[in-house]
């Protein structure tokens, strides 16, 4: 969603702030802005609608200098996409603020502040932060004191950075519900909503915790917890690859990330799957003892990560004999659910910062889940820090909004988890060996599957002028059909729905005509014959089918059915393999349609607000 970067340095920080914003742009991108405290003691603020490049061009045209500054990319929540609503927001030409999250009581704050004489120039909730801090500076000697008092008045979620023109030596930051990370430099310090923004300037980070307020100067970082008590937070050396922000010669991040899948999956399995066994502590210290008593798994996640949970349910129940529920995090967090004895809560998240998933984890702890496992791609993220166990997917930075390699590495992790839980639940060594064998073959199979690109490019032409599409699958391929439909709608804006193919005749069959392409994922498994009947039901009604199938499934193509051969693979990894052609299909359809593949309209990479 929105992105924050801030800096306190001797040197001019404008380039650092703009580079940071570019690295965060994938999260939210309808407008951007930067405010600097200039050497003459004045504020300079530049804001633009559109991409960060528009802001960079504006800064190029009228250069600004300053060692203390804050910057922001916005994904509109309160107030439309206008320059007035873009951050930073100011109060009385003294305070400048950037903010991620939502201040839920902003209307009350606003009317109180207006009655004190403050004039609002935007429709945002954020402007009330600026005026609140400004008003409290009348009775507080320090910016830190004013911010500490201000946050007590805010309801909702915020990661915010505040700058005071009267004191250019410091910025004050506060976190509650929206992540902030402090980057430590030499004689200069930084803050951002994601470490990615700061990798060009530092690798040493402090992840703020809920309720923390921190004062950052060039040479010091002082952190105070929710009660105002000074606290020390651990300094973490980041091992995220520095160049992960590059497209590496690919036309889009999404294409690069699709092609990285064999490598990242190989990486993810290395030293974790040893022969036919899982190495110790793959899921964190103490995992084995916890797994020994697990009888039930509750998975919560959003978006693509939810689809990986849906897939995992088939594996956990079929192979490991562990009962499993999967729920969308935004539903789980707002309903009363029954906690079964010996239940493990699993959250799945690429970013580890998705607001609903995090809230679901926090609720789960309150209602009695004794242990939680985060399957996540970002070390040090809130989800990882707040879970008892964690498994890092090792997908590397994923920039494309539409998730690809994060999904397939999550699935690889779930197969390992299936083995780990199965061990305590009477899984036969044959089953365990079968999964291990399939996993060993996975990187090479993914490579082979990527050679399907040419055929899929041609196929994409046939979709580009369609407005609707249907994706069908059965068993563990049903969630893959859901993921395929999500990819297509996300980046090509073609309406796509997924159905378990057995459900077809209970409604969706009414939609079938020759304008509705129907995509089927059909590995050669025990449900094949049933799936074939469903295919015939569509054909009999004039539908045009696109069947992604194992050669051995013996589908015969004709005018109404295009059969696309997918490399043969062992059945435990089939959901992962069949994901790849669907990713490629969405990508090439989007390319032909000319949509913004990496930053599709209205979407954000990391949804840190409800
Ligand atoms: C957003 C992204 C999706 C992602 C979902 C969950 O909607 O656009 O690609 O699947 O959030 O994100 P998470 O980081 O929790 O996996």
What pLDDT, in 10s, does the model give residues 344-377? 999 999 999 999 999 999 999 999 998 999 999 9
pLDDT on residue 241: 64
> Ligand 1 within 6 A of 305 CB?
yes
Q: How far is the CA of 591 from the centre of ligand 1 (A)?
A: 21
Q: In this predicted model, what pLDDT tens digit does every residue of 584-606 receive, in sequence order?
A: 999 999 999 999 999 899 888 88
Concatenating the DSSP letter of every residue in 209-253 gives PTT-EEEEESS-EEEE-TTS-EE----EE--S-GGGGS-TT-SSH
pLDDT, greater one: 496 or 242: 496
16, pLDDT greater than 80: yes
> Ligand 1 within 6 A of 401 CB?
yes
> Ligand 1 within 6 A of 403 CB?
yes
CA distance 106 to 89: 14
CA atoms within 13 Å, Cβ hemisphere of 517: 24
CA distance 98 to 491: 29
Q: Which of 7-11, 31-35, 328-332, 513-517 shows the lowest mean pLDDT across its residues?
A: 513-517
pLDDT band of residue 245 (cuts 50, 70, 90) is: low
Q: Which structure tokens are listed for 103?
A: 């201040």
What's the sign of the alpha-carbon dihedral 189, 71, 490, 600?
Answer: negative
pLDDT on residue 244: 55
Partners of residue 192 on adjacent β-strands: 5, 181
Q: In this predicted model, what pLDDT tens digit does every residue of 456-495 receive, in sequence order?
A: 998 999 988 999 999 999 999 999 999 999 999 999 999 9
CA distance 433 to 438: 8
Cβ count within 10 A of residue 599: 23
Atom 2 (ligand 1): residue with closest C-alpha? Answer: 605
Q: In this predicted model, what pLDDT tens digit does every residue of 154-210 receive, in sequence order?
A: 999 899 999 999 999 999 999 998 899 999 999 999 999 999 899 999 999 999 999
Q: Tell me the whole-structure pTM to 2 decimals.
A: 0.83
pLDDT, greater one: 386 or 244: 386
Atom 13 (ligand 1): residue with closest C-alpha? Answer: 349
pLDDT band of residue 556 (cuts 50, 70, 90) is: confident
Which backbone phi and psi does 334 adopt, to 5 degrees?
Answer: -115, 20
> Ligand 1 within 6 A of 383 CB?
no
Residue 357 CA: nearest ligand 1 atom is 15
CA distance 230 to 556: 70
Angle between the N-to-C axes of helices 303-318 and 478-492, in degrees from 0 to 180, rounded to the nearest 10: 170
Atom 5 (ligand 1): residue with closest C-alpha? Answer: 303
Q: How far is the CA of 492 from the centre of ligand 1 (A)?
A: 17
106 contacts: CB under 8 Å, gap ≥ 6: 78, 124, 125, 128, 156
Which backbone phi and psi does 386 adopt, to 5 degrees?
Answer: -95, 0
Average of per-residue pLDDT across 271-299:
95
321 by Cβ neighbours in 10 Å (0-12 / 13-18 / 19+) ranks as middle
What CA–CA distances, in Å, run from 287 to 294, 374, 426?
10, 12, 17
Q: How far is the CA of 374 from the centre of ligand 1 (A)?
A: 15
């Amino acid at each position: 969603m929105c992105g924050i970067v801030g800096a306190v340095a001797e040197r001019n920080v404008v380039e650092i702030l703009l580079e940071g914003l570019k690295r965060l742009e994938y999260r939210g991108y309808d407008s951007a802005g930067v405010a600097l405290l200039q050497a003459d003691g004045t504020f300079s603020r530049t804001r633009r609608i559109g991409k960060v490049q528009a802001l960079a061009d504006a800064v190029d045209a009228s250069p600004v200098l300053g060692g203390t500054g804050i910057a922001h990319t916005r994904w509109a929540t309160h107030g439309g996409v206008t320059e007035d609503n873009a951050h930073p927001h100011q109060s009385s030409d003294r305070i400048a603020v950037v903010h991620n999250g939502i201040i839920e009581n902003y209307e009350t704050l606003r009317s109180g502040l207006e009655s004190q004489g403050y004039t609002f120039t935007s429709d945002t909730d954020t402007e009330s932060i600026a005026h609140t801090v400004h008003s409290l500076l009348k009775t507080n000697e320090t910016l830190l004191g004013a911010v500490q008092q201000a946050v007590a008045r805010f309801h909702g979620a915020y990661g915010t950075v505040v700058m005071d023109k009267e004191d250019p030596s410091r910025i004050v930051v506060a976190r509650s519900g929206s992540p902030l990370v402090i980057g430590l430099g030499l004689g200069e310090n930084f803050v951002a909503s994601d470490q990615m923004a700061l990798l060009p300037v530092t690798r040493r980070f402090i992840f703020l915790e809920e309720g923390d307020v921190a004062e950052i100067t060039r040479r010091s970082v002082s952190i105070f917890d929710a009660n105002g008590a000074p606290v020390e937070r651990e300094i973490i050396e980041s091992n995220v690859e520095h160049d992960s922000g590059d497209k590496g010669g690919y036309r889009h991040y999404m294409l690069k990330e699709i092609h990285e899948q064999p490598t990242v999956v190989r990486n993810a399995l290395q030293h974790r799957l040893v022969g036919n066994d899982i190495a110790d502590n793959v899921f964190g210290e103490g995992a084995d003892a916890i797994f020994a008593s697990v009888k039930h798994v509750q998975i919560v996640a959003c978006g693509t990560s939810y689809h990986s949970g849906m897939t995992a349910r088939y594996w956990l129940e079929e192979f490991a004999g562990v009962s499993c529920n999967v729920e969308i995090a935004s539903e789980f967090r707002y309903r009363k659910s029954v906690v079964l004895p010996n239940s493990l809560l699993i959250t799945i998240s690429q970013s580890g910062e998705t607001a609903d998933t995090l809230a679901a984890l926090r609720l789960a702890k309150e209602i009695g889940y004794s242990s939680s496992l985060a399957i996540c791609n970002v070390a040090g993220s809130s989800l990882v820090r707040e879970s008892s166990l964690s498994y890092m997917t090792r997908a590397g930075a994923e920039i494309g909004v539409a998730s690809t390699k994060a999904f397939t590495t999550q699935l690889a992790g779930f197969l390992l988890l299936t083995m780990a839980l199965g061990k305590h639940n009477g899984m036969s060594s044959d089953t365990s060996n079968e999964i291990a064998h399939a996993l060993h073959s996975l990187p090479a199979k993914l490579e082979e599957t990527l050679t399907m690109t040419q055929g899929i490019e041609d196929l994409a032409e046939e979709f580009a002028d369609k407005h609707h599409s249907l994706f069908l699958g059965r068993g563990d391929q049903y969630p893959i059909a859901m993921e395929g439909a999500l990819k297509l709608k996300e980046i090509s804006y073609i309406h796509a729905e997924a159905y378990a193919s057995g459900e077809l005749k209970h409604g969706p069959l009414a939609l079938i005509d020759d304008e509705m392409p129907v995509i089927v994922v059909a590995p050669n498994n025990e449900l094949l014959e049933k799936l074939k009947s469903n295919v015939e039901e569509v054909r009999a009604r004039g539908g045009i089918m696109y069947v992604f199938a194992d050669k051995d499934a013996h589908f015969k193509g004709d005018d109404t059915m295009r059969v696309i051969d997918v490399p043969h693979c062992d059945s435990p990894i089939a959901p992962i393999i069949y994901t790849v052609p669907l990713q490629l299909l969405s990508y090439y359809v989007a390319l032909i349609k000319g949509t913004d593949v990496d930053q599709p309209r209205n979407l954000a990479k990391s949804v840190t607000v409800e």
